[in-house]
Amino acid sequence: MMKMKYVLLLLLGMILFPFATLAGQPDDAAALEGVERGKVVFDINNSSASSLNLYLAVIRETHDDLVRQGVEPDILLAFRGPAVTLVSTDRERLDLTDFDALDQIADHIADLEMLGVRMEGCGVATRLFQVDNQTLLDGIEPVGNTFVSLIGYQARGYAVIPIY
């Protein structure tokens, strides 16, 4: 009888645990009040493959958090500076120890593209860092100058979040 009581308590705990964690999960309701569309440009300018890999995972989570909270994501990633070297299929100049992170970056880029996230690579940066625009990962469109893009998107109401 005592063993049965513990089994029932265990089962009850397993049933109620998901509800307890949902109840305690923070949300962004105050910030998102009245927001129907989340317009954001992530200004990505870093040179660390592991850092970019982490940020892309968080950007994916941000997309999912917006959806979960009833906000339509309108997200653009603007790669500039040394970041263009990390989103190219040409890995000649990169360290072999970064290849796993670069593979994960490519996977994140593909997943984000499937979710409708738009991505662009700065033509000024590809010229300065000698990255052929044709080697940018699928889904990343070359543009003339991401500074110009950032001006345009900000003028159209997009939040700009720097990733350095």
- Taking the model in full, what pTM does it have? 0.84
Q: How far apart are CA 117 and CA 111, in angstroms?
A: 9
Return the structure tokens found at 136: 């940018």
Q: Do the beta carbons of residue 91 and residue 99 sit within 8 Å?
A: yes
Strand partners, 122: 143
What are the pLDDT tens digits along the chain (164 aa)? 545 544 444 444 555 455 544 556 789 999 999 999 999 999 999 999 999 999 999 999 999 999 999 999 999 999 999 999 999 999 988 888 889 999 999 999 999 999 999 999 999 999 999 999 999 999 999 999 999 999 999 999 999 999 99
